[in-house]
């Protein structure tokens, strides 16, 4: 049976904006990308996030420029049920909210990019002296992955393109079943359409 996967992105809809999580003391983490780097993390302790722009409250948003996945408790339960070996969930207090929210840390990184199937790929320039990401992708349009290389994961980041937060069709459907999402899903497993 073919498995389908989706890149979770920001939806073009009214939504609130939430900042990158910090320690409850307000102290920033040494590495602001820690929740998006695809590694198992030690317990970060008590964390919080500020609302940087009020708007329609959504159950799934990305916090800050690092795009840290932040979800409601109902959505956290979806991740815990369908992908318990693929994620860590850390409680995060969102400013002014009594409802519980969680940071979703995808802990698996898979090497599954199908570069030939992608519409357009941009690498960091090898001769760029400022790049910290030699050999990685700066951006990919029309991302395609090989579902046979996903190692059975339901939630993961991609090697050389950790920006992409990928979920299986099962997870996508369950998240949509809960609803009130501030995100969209771009399928990354079918062939490119010819234009």
**Within a domain: 64:** yes
**Within a domain: 177:** yes
- Output the six-digit token pair for 118: 């992608």
**Within a domain: 195:** no
**Within a domain: 131:** no
* Alpha carbon distance 191, 116 (integer Å): 10
Residue 16 clears pLDDT 60, i.e. is over it: yes
CB atoms closer than 10 angstroms to residue 176: 12
Query: Cβ distance 70 to 36 under 8 Å?
Result: no
- Over the stretch 87-102, which tens digit does the pLDDT of each residue have? 999 999 999 999 999 9
Which residues form the domain of 153? 5-111+140-187
- Report residue 123's pLDDT band, with 50, 70 and 90 as the boundaries: confident
**Within a domain: 144:** yes
Q: What is the total count of domains within the chain?
A: 1
Q: Which residues of 36-47 are buried (b: 16+ CB within 10 A; e: fewer)?
A: bebeeeeebeeb
- Report residue 176's pLDDT band, with 50, 70 and 90 as the boundaries: very high
**Within a domain: 120:** no
Percent of all residues in the chain with a pLDDT value above 90, rounded to a whole number: 78
Helices 169-178 and 73-82 meet at what angle, rounded to 10?
160
**Within a domain: 129:** no
**Within a domain: 121:** no
* For range 131-135, the mean pLDDT: 64
């Amino acid at each position: 049976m073919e498995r389908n996967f989706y890149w979770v992105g920001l939806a073009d809809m009214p939504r609130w904006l939430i900042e990158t999580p910090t320690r409850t003391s307000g102290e920033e983490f040494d590495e602001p990308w820690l929740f998006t780097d695809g590694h198992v993390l030690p317990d970060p302790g008590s964390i919080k996030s500020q609302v940087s722009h009020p708007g329609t409250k959504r159950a799934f948003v990305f916090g800050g420029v690092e795009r840290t996945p932040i979800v409601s408790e109902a959505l956290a339960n979806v991740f815990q049920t369908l992908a318990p070996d693929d994620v860590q969930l850390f409680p995060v207090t969102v400013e002014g909210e009594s409802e519980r929210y969680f940071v979703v840390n995808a802990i698996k990184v898979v090497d599954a990019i199908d570069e030939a199937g992608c519409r357009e790929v941009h690498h960091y320039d090898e001769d760029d002296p400022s790049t910290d990401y030699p050999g990685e992708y700066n951006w990919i349009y029309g991302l395609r992955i090989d579902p046979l290389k996903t190692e059975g994961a339901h939630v993961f980041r991609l090697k050389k393109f950790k920006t992409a937060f990928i979920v299986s069709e099962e997870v996508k459907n369950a998240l949509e079943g809960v609803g009130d999402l501030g995100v969209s899903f771009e399928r990354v497993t079918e062939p490119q359409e010819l234009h």
